[in-house]
Amino acid sequence: MFKLFASAFIAGTLAMSAAAAADLPKEINIVYVKAPFNLQNIVMKEKGMLEKAFEKDGVKVNWKTITSGSKQTQAMAGGAIDISAVMNTSSLLMANGAGNKVLIATGVAHPADTFAIVGKPGANFSVKDLKGKKIAGPKGTVLHQLLVAALAKNGMSISDVEFISMDQPSALSALLAGHIDGALLAASGVIKAEKSGSKVITTAKDLVNVNLVTTVREDFAKKYPEALDVVVKVQRDALAWIEKHPEEALALGAKEHGIDIGEAKKLASWSNYYNTLTEKDIKGLEEDQNFLINNKMMENRVDVKSLVLPSALK
């Protein structure tokens, strides 16, 4: 009888262990984004924090570099990406408006000062001077939204400029080579442009509710909630580590961006890192949705509260 009971107990334990293991994926495909100055993401990757957190469960972590929010959501729609460590909420809203369910898992930063429209070297443009000019930057992102908002504030629309869809590094190169009149840049890109004689035309401050968040495709969140909880915890542990080791964190960020410590401190001070979304953030999502709908940048209206997971609010 004892042997029978022991065998049943062991079998049950093994079954529960197998069920627990089944709740975790074999691998996680997560986007790495260093810009504008995402210290949490840089620290997580450079110190192998996610890999260590999943090591005992044998979950492989695959980092993928995709700088454009719209391309991140496209990769999520195709199942190639599970989580983005950093995505702007404009891209999140546009994706959901197109039927691609992407959810917010936790907050990252409110870096309005780091996003800017920059003129070509030697020029001293105002926003109104951009009429008829060639402006390049990543389409379907918060930088795209910034351009539209700045033009609208000055009585213009996107049709009043020649907008060229281009990633930030390419836009910076084109700007410095004189091939375009203005570029949509962030953080170290802005600093590098200024060093080459460019001037900031306007930042996103008071124009766009810039909010960077960690996102997850809906089906992954439903299937692997425990794995997502680990990612959220590690993201928040990274911020706690940064707060305890600011100089080391800044050194990592400066190295990754190819800038000096003074510039890294400036970008960090502009970043406004955070974890938990507030009612102000929810209101910001609603305001951004109205803007994106009114400017035909978003297809359909969605319930923004349904896009915020409980993990992002606690």
pLDDT in tens, the chain (314 residues): 434 444 444 444 444 444 444 589 999 999 999 989 999 999 999 999 999 999 999 999 999 999 888 899 999 999 999 999 999 999 999 999 999 999 999 999 999 999 999 999 999 999 999 999 999 999 888 899 999 999 999 999 999 999 999 999 999 999 999 999 999 999 889 999 999 999 999 999 999 989 999 999 999 999 999 999 999 999 999 999 999 999 999 999 999 999 999 999 999 999 999 999 999 999 999 999 998 998 888 989 999 999 999 999 99
Q: Which domains can be identified in the chain, with CATH numbers?
A: 29-110+210-313 (3.40.190.10), 113-203 (3.40.190.10)
Hey, what are 124's tokens? Answer: 């001293």
CA 92 to chain centre: 9
| Total-model pTM | 0.83
Long-range contacts of 285-292 (CB under 8 A, 24+ apart): 285/89, 285/93, 285/209, 285/211, 287/209, 288/89, 288/90, 288/93, 288/145, 288/208, 288/209, 289/93, 289/97, 291/145, 291/148, 291/149, 292/90, 292/93, 292/94, 292/97, 292/145
Q: Dihedral of the CA atoms 206, 93, 25, 11 (nearest 10)?
A: 110
**Residue 80 neighbours by CB distance under 10 Å:** 13
Q: Which 3 state secondary structure label does DSSP give 217?
A: strand
How far from the centroid of its chain's Cα atoms is residue 230's Cα?
18
